[in-house]
Structure 1
Amino acid sequence: MNWEQAIQDFTYYLKIERGLADNTIQNYRLDILKLTNYLSDFDLKISPVEIAEEDIQSFIYIISKLLNERSQSRLISGLKSFFDYLIFEDYRKTNPLELIESPRLGRQLPDTLSTEEIDRLIDAIDLSHPQGQRNKAIIETLYGCGLRVSELINLKISDLHFEAGFVKVVGKGNKERLVPINAYTQKFITIYKDEVRIHQEVKPEFTDILFLNRRGAQLTRAMIFTIVKQLSKEAHIQKKISPHTFRHSFATHLLENGANLRVIQQMLGHESITTTEIYMHLDKTHLRSVLEKFHPRA
């Protein structure tokens, strides 16, 4: 088995068997290609079946000088998954990364925006601009529903169930979930959909996609990042933010206002509660108020 065939089979497995998103699959491919490029640079003609632990160790040692600890950890994790797949398919007996440890990472707390900062950012939107109402609806949806960027750009008009107070979202691994949506957020989506989008010439394949670009096609992830970056600049927000910042802010503000962690987990679509627990970085004043409100001895 050569590398090209192994990578092709692995990506097919990730897409069909595990149902991973295209971006995630691409990251796995890039991790493996870093290894194959290393082998090519040093003229090491070793197949994925033959490569040994010492070969991997040499590769990790060299590439560690180019990557930060978080990137190293993801690379090692991706390669471990690749060789686990080869074992699963009986191409190998052992995983050459079995004894290689990832760098120890501290839990990184996500950046969040205060409600005042979010209001400032939304106020910076120029509603006289042709895309103004669309951009306002996008930001309100990111913050009001806590969506991932991929979930936002793939949101369909047929997924809007406003009468029931929910939107249907397709998350990681093509898993569907219902996310509650408040009347405030519904209002801005409706304004965009019924007063702006209705006047666009929409390409046939995107007739059910909610948020469109000027050419009547689906927005890209990069475009959402550009919108957020430009708005943060105009609102003079000094923090380094991205579309995901609104998801972090959504979860943090819910938690600070007394929402149950399990409920937040369901709304965010996290498989594990430990992923949601990262939002427990509350200030001590809030923690004290919770104690005084709920503990019987308070």
Structure 2
Amino acid sequence: MPPRKRPPANSRFQVRKPADPGVHLEPFLHYLEAECGMAANTVSAYRSDIVQFLDWYRAQKPVPLSEVDLAFLSGYLQHLNRRKLAATTVSRHLVTIKLFFRYLVLEGVLAESIADLLNSPKLWKYLPKVLSPEKVNQLLSAPCRQDRYPLRDRAILAMMYATGCRVTEIVTLPLNAVKLTEGYARCVGKGNKERMVSLNPVAVAAVEAYLRHERPDMTRRNTAEQALFLNRGGKQLSRVMVWNIVKKNAARVGCSKEVSPHTLRHSFATHMMAGGAEIRALQELLGHANIRTTQIYTHVDHSRLKAVHQMYHPRG
């Protein structure tokens, strides 16, 4: 019996691999930026999350997007958990996947989004690390003569703690948006939303000293730059440089492993809650779109809850 011939390459019996979902990546990112109005850093974070998901997707048994089920996506969440990622990081990855699948539905690639059936990991156990007011004071005083621009560094630390601003909001803050006499600044947060933040006397004094003694020398190299905080070339300071400034000075006060630029934001929010700030007001100050994000700080402030109990409970 003669051997069976293989079907030709263009035969209808040929097994086709599912189309690579990576073709939807760039259109999805454009959708986030152009139609959803997301900031460039947010879009960049979503890009990183989707690229990681697609890399994992390709490593699995090839399956079309239309056949992706709940078990398949749950497998990816288990993969993230095996990497020992924080619950907040896993949640962010999940949000990205949900947005991606909703976009595919909008574009008619999928009939429905199976990703919406996934539950977010519980975040109530996660509490942001914060510094005590005493440790914050030590950190703000840490910049010294050994540094090239100690007044600038002190002003950055003081501004971050006084306002609770994100790193990106600090480095992009224009000089004309800071009103030292009135004690406030206008910053642009996520989604290009502008908000007003207050400056305490410590921050005002630190910025005034920087503007008087260091910034004029920086601007000689670049008179057109409008950012408040500059590098030695007179250009806008980068996020990485702010990170290095925070870590360097945190090491000087003995807490480098615990502290990042976001630690100052967490400390600001926690200390505001301890001082009696209303959660809605804190939401505005932090620039949170959803109050659920702000509610994490209610779990941190045990001291204030205890004081309220002692004050009002009849057996307190």
TM-score where L is the length of structure 1: 0.87
Contact persistence 1:125–1:136 (CA under 8 A): yes
Aligned counterparts of 1:247 and 1:72: Cα–Cα separation in 2: 21
The corresponding residue for 1:156 is 174
Q: Which runs of 4+ in 1 moved over 4 A?
A: 57-64, 291-298
- Cα distance in 1 for residues equivalent to 2:83 and 2:309: 46
Match of 1:76 in 2: 94
Are 2:22 and 2:54, in contact at CA under 8 Å, matched by a contact in 1?
no
**Residue matched to 2:59:** 41
Name 2:159's counterpart in structure 1. Answer: 141
- Confirm or deny that 1:203 pairs with 2:222: yes
**For residues 66 and 293 of structure 1, what CA distance do their matches in structure 2 show?**
45
- The match for 1:86 is 104
- Say whether the 8 Å CA contact 2:124–2:296 is kept in structure 1: no
For the pair shown, the structure with the greater C-alpha radius of gyration is: 2
Give the structure 2 partner of residue 236 of structure 1. 254
Compare 100-109 and 214-223 and name the one that shifted more.
100-109
How far 1:212 sits from its partner (Å)? Answer: 1.0
Quote how far apart the aligned CAs of 1:239 are: 5.8
Which aligned pairs between 1:1-298 and structure 2 lie closer than 5 A? 3-42=21-60, 44=62, 46=64, 48=65, 50-53=66-69, 55-62=72-79, 64-68=81-85, 70=87, 71-127=89-145, 129-200=147-218, 201-203=220-222, 207-237=225-255, 240-280=258-298, 281-284=300-303, 286-291=304-309
Conservation of the 8 A alpha-carbon contact between 1:144 and 1:185? yes
Structure 2 residue matching 1:178: 3-state secondary structure? strand
> 1:238 and 1:158 mapped to 2: Cα distance?
33
Classify the secondary structure of the residue corresponding to 1:177: strand
CA distance in 2, matches of 1:40, 1:2: 8
* Larger CA deviation: 190-199 vs 237-246: 237-246
Task: Work out whether residues 51 and 96 of structure 1, in 8 Å CA contact, stay in contact via their aligned partners in 2.
Answer: no
Gaps of 5+ in 1: none
Q: Whole-Å Cα distance in 2 between the matches of residues 129 and 62 of structure 1?
A: 43
Distance 1:291 1:106, change over 3 A: closer
C-alpha deviations, 1:57-87, integer Å up to 9, x for none?
5544555433536243332221111011111
Cα distance between partner residues in 1 of 2:165 and 2:194: 12
Deviations 1:93-149 (A, max 9, x none): 111323333433334111111121112222221146331010000011011111111
| Gapped regions of structure 2 (runs ≥ 5) | 1-18
User: Are the counterparts in 2 of residues 127 and 133 from structure 1 also a CA contact under 8 Å?
Assistant: no
| SS of alignment partner, residue 105 of structure 1 | coil
Separation in 2, partners of 1:296, 1:169: 45
The residue identity in structure 1 corresponding to 2:272 is L
Report the number of matched residues: 294
Segment of structure 1 superposing worse, 116-125 or 233-242: 233-242
User: C-alpha distance in 2, partners of 1:147/1:133?
Assistant: 19
Q: CA RMSD in A?
A: 2.7
